[in-house]
Structure 1
């Protein structure tokens, strides 16, 4: 009998559901979830079949706009164990991620699953993080990753704690809290997040509450004892082209003028030119944290300004901490996210005016 590895189809639904019940006592994928992943784009559900019997599966998710893939779940039928099926499914998962030009494949595994951990280590996966109380029964998860494109690794990763924004409009304050936690003895709170937003916001934006001005973020950081400097390729009021109402434009312009005056009074360094890849590398090498405004178009299809924290770099990628998991992601997918340098350059601009701005922070 020959083992076949192939993409899952709708006719596999009953067998997948039954396999899940046999393999796991908790943290099971539902029948509805399997139906979704069979149909979904940006994912690969691979099944192992022998003589018409489904013996295992591997589910790989692709994170849009990045070079990252995640092994979301893998299962081998108890009757099929001891026959290298897990190894075969892992190879199929890597082949799928590689075919989609993903740079890393990441996974989570129970701390007490020694057999699976040995397999991942044998296949070249490196332990890089852990998540306490991750599973339904409160067991911890260990995080592993493997680089699928074997290039020299010279990443300089910064130890940047990840902070999730608590509102749709506080990405900037959440990123600033990441920097404060990385650069000093600081514990982020929701109250501080909202207070930071009050200090740094433009009040209005494309819709709803406004986002944070780079000068506003830098001034708030300076107020809390950090060294800060701003890079911006525009001198005039920012974001005014994102609103139509003249009264709202006037408010944005008033706040911009206030931030400029405060920056001048406090001798805050402001560089009116682009902050490119070389400058990001230099800042990271110096142990500084870089907050960058990006357009979310290549992440979620929406043209919205969004602050992220750069958490590392190497010859091929920049790594970001994204404070917004969105609707389909989990926090694990938003930390040390590898984005190719070319794509990052395309994301690091916003609006018709192609605004490029960054806030560089040090202790």
Structure 2
């Protein structure tokens, strides 16, 4: 049903009453990579997304824009944008994008990213006109095998420049190998001939694990990661805010406590033998940035609570910074819940901007506020 073309066009948040019209528009707009009814329903009801629709009058839906708001970060992503073929040329795409930008700013986001097909020249021109700049490329990204151009826009402090390091991104292969996957990213960046295989991911874990945690397999000790890095040709410094066995307070079983303590003491002895420097103090953020500028890369222990509500220790790699944010490569694909039928995307795990004050809170784990950083350099 259509209303008069003289009726005003306006933008509002979608409601469940829009589902039918949204599915019709999706079918008109895309031959593949379509959102399902379930995905639209999730986008309308989820606190981590905002779905805007462009309306003419009360009943004619002319377009939509779907925004993802990544919890715990300053990153937003324009996931999908569609305008009815009959309504193109009316500036609806621009209005929808502006609504997304305004929402992202209101939610404290500083950076808005998107992907667009490299053959969609009209969309690319619109994004460029609105201040979006290309910063990456993905081959055969869409179902029809066309390539995707990655673009981003600084929503605030547009004059700030980011300092980043080219780095391949790798997903952790298991729930307990974030540390090895992070180290593999660093190795791949610093030693281009290094082959980041699933077998070596597990081997690094075997070398670096604390063996036990509260439940399931243990994660990786910072000293263990440093020793594994040195074994593979890097120089490593370990910064720890406390001495003594790590994570031991997270287990109640006395045998587990004993094993964790023995593993820790063994790592200390190995670091002394291998001349891996141990600094029993938290590494200041200014010093971390200075090391990054000098060519080092750092693996940093964070708590994921502000990102997924879970109080879990998790390793990430610092991949850049600007005046307001620290950027990280996160090896965990599952920490940001997507639409029900949308597979996790590596795009949301690379150069993730986290406000500096938020990052300093994240990089303190547990009741003891443990801080652990492994700084890695080439020999």
1:29-178 equivalences under 5 Å are 29-51=35-57, 52-178=59-185
Query: In the aligned structure 2, how far is the partner of 1:305 from the partner of 1:316?
Result: 24
Query: In the aligned structure 2, how far is the partner of 1:130 from the partner of 1:206?
Result: 41
C-alpha displacement at 1:32, in angstroms? 1.1
Q: Report what 1:360 is aligned to.
A: 375
C-alpha displacement at 1:137, in angstroms? 1.3
CA contact 1:156–1:284 (8 Å) conserved in 2: no
C-alpha displacement at 1:37, in angstroms? 0.7
- Cα deviation 1:310-354 (Å, max 9, x = unaligned): 000111000010000115342110100000000000000111111
Q: Report what 2:283 is aligned to.
A: 275
Query: In the aligned structure 2, how far is the partner of 1:277 from the partner of 1:48?
Result: 44
Q: Report what 1:203 is aligned to.
A: 211
Query: In the aligned structure 1, how far is the partner of 2:372 from the partner of 2:259?
Result: 21
> Could you tell me the TM-score, scaled by structure 1's length?
0.98
Query: In the aligned structure 1, how far is the partner of 2:159 from the partner of 2:285?
Result: 19
C-alpha displacement at 1:151, in angstroms? 4.3
2:29 maps to 1:23: yes
2:262 maps to 1:254: yes
C-alpha displacement at 1:187, in angstroms? 2.8
- Aligned to 2:164, the other structure's residue is in SS state coil
- Cα deviation 1:51-91 (Å, max 9, x = unaligned): 22000000001000000000010000000001111111111
Q: Report what 2:358 is aligned to.
A: 343
> Could you tell me the TM-score, scaled by structure 2's length?
0.94
- Cα deviation 1:156-183 (Å, max 9, x = unaligned): 1011211100000000000000100111
CA contact 1:230–1:270 (8 Å) conserved in 2: yes
CA contact 1:57–1:74 (8 Å) conserved in 2: yes
- Aligned to 2:225, the other structure's residue is in SS state helix
C-alpha displacement at 1:150, in angstroms? 2.4
Query: In the aligned structure 1, how far is the partner of 2:170 from the partner of 2:78?
Result: 23
C-alpha displacement at 1:154, in angstroms? 3.2
Any unmatched runs of 5+ in structure 1? none
C-alpha displacement at 1:133, in angstroms? 1.6
- Cα deviation 1:205-242 (Å, max 9, x = unaligned): 12100000000000000011101100001110111001
1:262-301 equivalences under 5 Å are 262-301=270-309
Q: Report what 2:323 is aligned to.
A: 315
- Count of residue pairs brought into register by the alignment: 363
C-alpha displacement at 1:38, in angstroms? 0.7
Q: Report what 2:231 is aligned to.
A: 223
C-alpha displacement at 1:281, in angstroms? 0.7
Q: Report what 2:3 is aligned to.
A: none
Query: In the aligned structure 1, how far is the partner of 2:290 from the partner of 2:82?
Result: 44
